[in-house]
Chains A and B, each alone.
Chain A
Amino acid sequence: MGYQIPREAADQLFGWLAEHYEILAPKVFAGEGCFSDTDVTRYGTVRSLSEIEFDKKSDYSFKEALLPVNETLFYFTEDQETVPAAPGKKRLVFLRSCDLHALKRLDAIYLENGREDFYYKRLREHVLFVLIGCPESCDTGFCVSMGTSQTGDYDLYLKISEETVWADCKSEELKAFFGRLPDGTCAETAVSPEAPSENKETVTLPPSFSEDILSNPVWESYGSRCIGCGRCNFVCPTCTCFTMQDIHYRDNAKAGERRRVWASCQVDGYTDVAGGGSFRKTQSDRLRFKVLHKICDFEKRFGFQMCVGCGRCEAVCPEYISYISLINTLVKEDA
């Protein structure tokens, strides 16, 4: 159902939602960028519409709304384990089309890849998704190429201006909130999400690659520039890897907790195994593994590409390693 609402009424509606849900949305964290006097846009709890960054794609993806950077799986004492309670409030998560497509990848990994993940599932079941439109393509995204520029899989779509808010609400649960608006403030109208028809960048993936790409010199040429910082993984909405940490509390080593924490296949330690072995030692090997996971290996297992073309990895790399150029070189040379 589409609505047109004056901004003031929409702000009031948002207030009701904020009471009922924990609302997670892209937000500008002033001064918290890498460099002094620079900002970062990442997810955080918001209480009003004006806190949400609607114009710029977030530097870090929405995934932390479902996969906390650090998540305690259980606490242990000498003879017991305790699983922490699930968050009390339901969540509303604001995100763009590419990220909503990424959700399908997270679901594939955590729900459809063998046993369902208890922690992911209990969060996921209580999340509603609010789509932010993209009237124009962002700078580095190639969602059109990856088929992720449009989606209908949202619970709510919101577009805002200073005076007016347009909404398309698919969720019955959320429709009830629109019903509470005073008469005359909520005009029904057709609203459909804004989506870009083209991007500045294009990536055309072949149905499959040949084995030859494994020895393509591209891995070495880009890998030798990679510093293994992991930013490309941490910003990616489809990277799902975690590692385990067991913590024994300092003043009582018999009590502690087990956490799972985001991991990056580009950072030292990822392929370390008991006995001191390590499988992918060079950044070239790691880069090859990551890129092929994104555009080849995942697809072999699940039938759709892992990468949604959000372009965040491209934008964040401090060494200007262009994921897009790398893939395009690979595609060209394998043709």
Chain B
Amino acid sequence: MSLDINTKKAKKNAYRISKVRGVGASRIRVPGGYLKAEILGMVQKIAETYGNGIVHLTTRQGFEIEGIRLEDMDAINQMLQPIIELLDINQTDKNGGYPASGTRNVSACIGNNVCPFANYNTAEFAKRLEKAIFPNDLHFKVALTGCPNDCAKVRLHDFGIIGMTMPQYDPARCVACKACIKGCKSLSVDALRMENHKIVRDEEKCIGCGVCVTKCPTRAFTRSKKKYYRLSIMGRTGKRNPRLGKDFLVWADEDSVVKIILNTYRFVKEYIDPNAPGGKEHIGYIIDRVGFEEYKKWALDGVELLPETIVNQCVYWDGIHYD
């Protein structure tokens, strides 16, 4: 049977062309990895109707329905529609499936929906970002993690968002039990000490993890009303120069983080190698080529940072070099 498939279009439509001729896989994005259980039933139905009954949980917290026949893509797109709507994914053509695949699913740790350490609702922020950046063909990887434990391993992503809180200390409620000091020392960075029976926080050292707040038995330590984020940039895995992301902003607000990511799309459009294979060039390599100073100019354009936000004016990456 002849098979006339525009593979570029299929890939953009979030299908994978597999190693078996005529067979592909359908990829479903789940922002923040957070979904209603009923979607699982819908995924099952697609896998059993058009696939081989197997689903892979992707590293970016999506589903990959295996063993689908490429000629069934239109029919599968119909079945994807309720999933796309339930997850509120931006779409250009109703019943046309996913409009892009370059910008990857925004992944996240479980966050404060469940985890006691988390400093914010990672799923909500992931959804906000997904709404802001998708669909786009540019290859962007964004991940969020609730606290500096970084369970989501966000430093391996182009943008890694780490939740922080600015501990608020009320000496009038403090009973000098030292639970915060012990917690910060054993679980975090040892930023607290006691002077005259009251706590002194080393502001330079504190990473805003919030351990002191969860340990405090009297609510002397509480979380700041504002939520803060550490923005790690340009981490990556891969062939040439895998490396951990480095801090660009510390104590940043949500709006600035969103804006910087959107600005980065403009930067990439301007500077991407026009001959990049498949129109894909990792942002990090573009910055390596263009220079961090130029990137910073674009990234911070029109961004109104909080007065307390620390901007690292020079960012250098190391990592493993194979090139």
A36 touches B210 (CB 8 A): yes
- A191 to B296: give the CA distance in the assembly, Å: 69
> Is B275 an interface residue when CB atoms closer than 8 A count as contact?
no
- Distance in angstroms from B184 CB to nearest chain A CB is 15
Chain B residues 80 to 128 lying within 8 A of chain A, measured CB to CB, are 112, 116, 118-121
A36 touches B112 (CB 8 A): yes
A37 touches B112 (CB 8 A): yes
- Residues on B with beta carbons closer than 8 Å to the beta carbon of A166: none
> Is A262 an interface residue when CB atoms closer than 8 A count as contact?
yes
> Is B133 an interface residue when CB atoms closer than 8 A count as contact?
no
- Residues on A with beta carbons closer than 8 Å to the beta carbon of B163: 36
> Is B311 an interface residue when CB atoms closer than 8 A count as contact?
no
B179 touches A234 (CB 8 A): no
With A34-B213, A35-B214, A261-B176 already in contact, the answer to whether A245 and B197 are too (CB < 8 A) is yes
> Is A108 an interface residue when CB atoms closer than 8 A count as contact?
no
> Is A42 an interface residue when CB atoms closer than 8 A count as contact?
yes
- Residues on A with beta carbons closer than 8 Å to the beta carbon of B37: none
- Distance in angstroms from A9 CB to nearest chain B CB is 34
Q: Which residue of B lies closest to A42 (CB)?
A: B219
Chain A residues 222 to 277 lying within 8 A of chain B, measured CB to CB, are 229-231, 234, 245, 247-250, 259, 261-264, 267-268
> Is A302 an interface residue when CB atoms closer than 8 A count as contact?
no
Interface size class of A (residues with CB under 8 A): 20 to 34
Q: Which residue of A lies closest to B195 (CB)?
A: A250
- A247 to B195: give the CA distance in the assembly, Å: 9
Contact stretch, chosen from B46-54, B60-68, B151-159, B167-175: B167-175
Chain B residues 173 to 228 lying within 8 A of chain A, measured CB to CB, are 173-179, 195-197, 210, 213-220, 222-223, 225, 227
- Distance in angstroms from A64 CB to nearest chain B CB is 9
- A32 to B118: give the CA distance in the assembly, Å: 14
Chain B residues 210 to 268 lying within 8 A of chain A, measured CB to CB, are 210, 213-220, 222-223, 225, 227
- Residues on A with beta carbons closer than 8 Å to the beta carbon of B171: 70
A69 touches B112 (CB 8 A): no
> Is B165 an interface residue when CB atoms closer than 8 A count as contact?
yes
Contact check: which of A29, A36, A261, A268 meets B119 at CB < 8 Å? A36
Q: Which residue of A lies closest to B118 (CB)?
A: A36
- Distance in angstroms from A214 CB to nearest chain B CB is 27
- Residues on A with beta carbons closer than 8 Å to the beta carbon of B227: 36
Binary contact track A44-78/B, C-beta < 8 Å → 1, others 0: 00000000000000001000000011100000000
B179 touches A229 (CB 8 A): yes
A40 touches B219 (CB 8 A): yes
- A9 to B112: give the CA distance in the assembly, Å: 42
A35 touches B112 (CB 8 A): yes
Chain B: residues with Cβ within 8 Å of the partner, total of 33
Q: Which residue of B lies closest to A68 (CB)?
A: B172
> Is A206 an interface residue when CB atoms closer than 8 A count as contact?
no
- Residues on B with beta carbons closer than 8 Å to the beta carbon of A259: 197
- Distance in angstroms from A229 CB to nearest chain B CB is 5
> Is A15 an interface residue when CB atoms closer than 8 A count as contact?
no
- A230 to B217: give the CA distance in the assembly, Å: 7
- A69 to B219: give the CA distance in the assembly, Å: 11
Chain B residues 136 to 158 lying within 8 A of chain A, measured CB to CB, are none
B118 touches A231 (CB 8 A): no
Binary contact track A151-168/B, C-beta < 8 Å → 1, others 0: 000000000000000000
- A60 to B173: give the CA distance in the assembly, Å: 12
B174 touches A37 (CB 8 A): no
- Residues on A with beta carbons closer than 8 Å to the beta carbon of B215: 229
- A69 to B218: give the CA distance in the assembly, Å: 9
B223 touches A69 (CB 8 A): no
- A31 to B213: give the CA distance in the assembly, Å: 11
- Distance in angstroms from B125 CB to nearest chain A CB is 12
- Residues on A with beta carbons closer than 8 Å to the beta carbon of B119: 36
- Residues on B with beta carbons closer than 8 Å to the beta carbon of A42: 219
- Distance in angstroms from B209 CB to nearest chain A CB is 11
Q: Which residue of A lies closest to B120 (CB)?
A: A36
- A262 to B173: give the CA distance in the assembly, Å: 9
- Residues on A with beta carbons closer than 8 Å to the beta carbon of B223: 31-32, 36
- Distance in angstroms from B169 CB to nearest chain A CB is 12
- Distance in angstroms from B124 CB to nearest chain A CB is 10
- A263 to B218: give the CA distance in the assembly, Å: 11
- Residues on B with beta carbons closer than 8 Å to the beta carbon of A68: 172
Contact check: which of A36, A40, A230 meets B165 at CB < 8 Å? A36
B175 touches A263 (CB 8 A): yes
List residues of chain A with CB under 8 Å of any chain B CB. 29, 31-37, 40, 42, 60, 68-70, 229-231, 234, 245, 247-250, 259, 261-264, 267-268
Please name 6 further chain A to chain B contacts, defined as beta carbons within 8 Å, in addition to the given A36-B227, A229-B177, A230-B179, sorted by A numbering.
A36-B119, A229-B217, A234-B218, A247-B196, A247-B197, A259-B197
List residues of chain B with CB under 8 Å of any chain A CB. 112, 116, 118-121, 163, 165, 171-179, 195-197, 210, 213-220, 222-223, 225, 227
> Would you list 18 pairs from A and B whose C-beta atoms are within 8 A, ordered by A residue?
A29-B222, A32-B219, A32-B222, A34-B214, A35-B112, A35-B116, A35-B214, A36-B112, A36-B165, A37-B121, A69-B172, A229-B179, A234-B217, A248-B196, A250-B196, A262-B175, A264-B175, A267-B179
